[in-house]
Structures are given as C-alpha cells and as structure tokens.
Amino acid sequence: MSRKVLLIEDEPNITEAIRFLLTREGWHVETHAEGSDAFELIMASRPDLLILDVMLPGKSGMDILRELREQEDTRKLPVLMLTARGQLRDREMAEKAGVSRFMTKPFSNTEVVTAVRDLHAQASKA
C-alpha cells in the first residue's frame, strides 16, 4: 500500500510541481487548496504526512496545525510547513504550534523531497 501525503497549498503551480516530485518518489499525493475545511479533510483522509502552506484562504495553516496537535490521532502526524514568511517570529510561532519541519519559499526540490523522506523515516521509527 503506497504512502499517502496530503498537500494543502493554494498556489496551483507549486501543487503541480510537488505532486510530480512526490509521485515519482512513490507517494500517493492528495491535494487541497482551501484552509477553511482543511482540518475536516485531514481527519477524513488520514495521510501519512501533511504538507501545509501557512497563508491559505479561509484559515491559516498555523491555526490548522494547532487544531491538529490538540487531537490525539494527529498529535504526531509529520507536518512540513511551507511559507513565504521566513522571519524568526514566524518560525518560532510554527515551532510552538508543533510543526515538524519549517521551510521557506522559494525552496528547492531537493529540500522538499529530502524533508519528506526524513520526516517519514522518523515517523516510521517512532
């Protein structure tokens, strides 16, 4: 059974590129572009890994992450957060909210793929 990653990102061309990269890595990639109903979708989809943009329409990725960490089922879900805001306070806020990895745009493909591999490996060991 293939591993499932859920990518929540409102920029379609970033979504396309990441979908291509991770599909090639053997992941089953599901995508979504809205923040408002993202939490419900995550709970229904049960991905092995979540890639989450910070600035999403409807609800911020930071709020979605906080909600996830309050749930027993998703407390340890690996979350890779993508953002164009790379300031220290944004990073600290994400870490406080329980992010697994924080990545600023523009990122390289290698960074994304390596982060996904690392996070999945860590989660598998735990």
Partner 1 sequence: MVRDTLTGSRIRERRMIAGMRQADLARSVGISASYLNLIEHNRRRIGGKLLMDIASALSVEPSMLTEGAEAALIASLREAAADATNVQAETDRADEFAGRFPGWAGVLAQMHRRVGSLERTVETLSDRLTHDPHLASSLHEVLTTAAAIRSMAAILAEPGDIEPEWRDRFHRNIHQDAERLADSSKALVNYLDESETDDDHRGVPLEQVEAYFSGQSYHFPAIEAGEDAASVALDGLDSSAARAIAKKMLDGYAADARALPLQAFAAELGEGDIDPLHLASRFGVDFATVLRRLATLPEELLPGAAGLVVCDASGSILFRKAVPGFALPRHGESCPLWPLFTALNRPLVPIRRRVAQLGRTAAEFDCFAIAWPQAMAEFDRDPIYRSIMLILPVDSADQGRVAAQQVGSSCRICPKSGCSARREPSILSEGF
**Any contact of residue 109 with partner 1 (CB under 8 A)?**
yes
- Vertex 107, ends 60 and 122: CA angle to 5°? 80
The answer to whether residue 17 forms part of the interface with partner 1 (CB under 8 A) is: yes
Residue from 33, 41, 55, 123 in contact with partner 1 (CB under 8 A): 55
Range in contact with partner 1 (rule: CB under 8 A) among 6-14, 32-40, 57-65, 94-102: 6-14
**Strand segments (E) across 36-125:** 49-53, 79-83, 101-104
- Indicate which single residue of 21, 33, 41, 123 sits in contact with partner 1 (rule: CB under 8 A): 21
- With CB under 8 A as the rule, give the number of residues binding partner 1: 21
Q: How far apart are CA 111 and CA 117, in angstroms?
A: 10
Quick one: tokens of 55? 């600035």
Pairing of strands 3-8, 79-83: unpaired
Q: Residue 89 or 125: which CB sits closer to partner 1?
A: 89
- Residue nearer to partner 1 on the CB measure, 106 or 125: 106
